[in-house]
Structure 1
């Protein structure tokens, strides 16, 4: 059988250990092979964003370095859509690269500038961005609109934009969008309200608190655990 949204071997081992089970990666790999358990493979459908030709381009301040040691210093933003019978339901996110938390998100039946502005405002309300630090996105019309760069400047941030057509620059947001769509087990949501509920539950409970990812320093930890450990490391010793 294929376990929908099932874990890969390293993440499966980490999840078992977190729940108190004695397990090593070789045993987990053997059991997954014997029972034909596989993590779902997500097919990626990419389309190039349409830049606003009238907008002045912002430099790429990230340079494909999607790491950060301090929360609030490097944020990446992107949008996706969730199909419903009533039409597409759009989701905009702001992810903190230090913790991989979704510090801001917003949903609407459109993907105009107001959608990404609401997501950034949520990040600011949560204490996400710090003055002088960077907010990274693609060249989509939502991010090159007059309103969005204005909010960036008012928030004391520096706007950064990835190179047009570089699919590798989507890795950070794909690491959230992919599991959201695969692990909720839904291809078409029954309504906008159902999509909103799934996004909120998955983000705040499953992704932030129960889904570990490999951190270069802390090992397999959730985004919330990463924030706690990072805060401890950044706190000056008494």
Structure 2
């Protein structure tokens, strides 16, 4: 952009041709990418390459592989970059998010009764033996 502007082409025209807006360009021009952001991008690239080669590796072994390829970093930095990008070991499991809701019940709810107002209530009393089971006892080991 600056080379085109030096050649006499207005920044407005260049942004229109490249389908960019002027405001983010001027914001970037005032505050370009820092050297630490570039270094972190190179480190992330080295970690990604190591993760693609060996998906079983955790963050410590990924950091060792990145160090062997010339991108030195602390293990904590490797962990932060790997966890931010979701690069987990094939043997480890990432934590579930709290957005998942439990699924439907696996069996019918025999204790549920609708009252006179239409609300669902639960009755835990049986009129005779072996009519109402609260749990399925066949799933538990009985040693």
- Bin of the TM-score, shorter chain as denominator length: under 0.3
Choose between structure 1 and 2: higher helix proportion: 2
Per the normalisation by structure 2, the TM-score is: 0.23
Choose between structure 1 and 2: higher strand proportion: 1
Per the normalisation by structure 1, the TM-score is: 0.16
Indicate the structure whose relative CO is greater, using CA pairs within 8 Å and at least 6 residues apart. 1
The higher radius of gyration belongs to: 2
